[in-house]
Structure 1
Amino acid sequence: MARIAALCLGLMAAATPVAASEVEGARAAELKHLVIQDCGSCHGLTMKGGLGRPITRDLMQHYDREILRDIILDGIPGTAMPPWRPLMSEADAMWIADYLRGVDQ
């Protein structure tokens, strides 16, 4: 629980309104870690599904990046997919959407 709280605080402190293309370096590494650890805790560490649906690159590449960004930021009501908007910027969510789609960062 303390690890999640620390991660949330770190995400809030690092969230800045920048373009997705400007998310790089340490922040990109943090977001990749977030996807693997936090998204992976529901979607599976290999992203092939678990509590949440599979979010593998071959499945995600068919989705529009703005739709994925909105799902990341606002969650999906009535499901276990939480909103991440309080914890990250739109640029962060766009970076994650591109990462999930396999777009080179």
Structure 2
Amino acid sequence: MLRLAPLLALLAAPAAAGALPPDRAAELEHLVRQDCGACHGMTLAGGLGPDIRPAALAALDRTALVSVILDGRPGTAMPPWRPLLSEAEAAWIAEYLRTGDAP
């Protein structure tokens, strides 16, 4: 059983919020500030899209936020990012938006 522990830890590691390589995390932070900021305002306080600062997202479930990032919101200007982002990357962005800091 002790031999399985390191393997299980390795398998679980990619699911952790901070599991992205630092260079990819920096790219995603830039994406949030530039691409998301284009609609949600450069301070993310709202514009064409709603306020997406931590206080505004506090009541939202993380899974729901990941879904909005990946699949967009039909009938609004929020596009689906699934063609460009993995689920792990969308989860990183959701955590970044919910905390105001890189996970």
Give yes or no for TM over 0.5.
yes
From the CA coordinates, give the structure whose radius of gyration is larger.
Answer: 2
Structure 1 gaps of 5+ residues are: 1-17
The correspondence for 2:36, drawn from 18, 30, 39, is: 39
Deviation at 1:70, TM superposition (A): 0.2
Percentage identity across paired residues of the two chains: 58
Alignment partner, residue 72 of structure 1: 69
How large is the Cα RMSD of the aligned pairs?
1.3
Structure 2 gaps of 5+ residues are: 1-13
Structure 2 length normalisation: TM-score? 0.80
Post-superposition, which runs of at least 4 consecutive aligned residues in structure 1 deviate over 4 A? none
Structure 1 length normalisation: TM-score? 0.79
1:91 and 2:88 are equivalent in the alignment: yes
How many residue pairs match? The answer is 88
Q: Higher helix proportion, which one?
A: 1
Q: Deviations over 1:31-66 (max 9, x none)?
A: 000000000000000011111011111111221111
Q: Deviations over 1:70-98 (max 9, x none)?
A: 00000000000000000010000000000
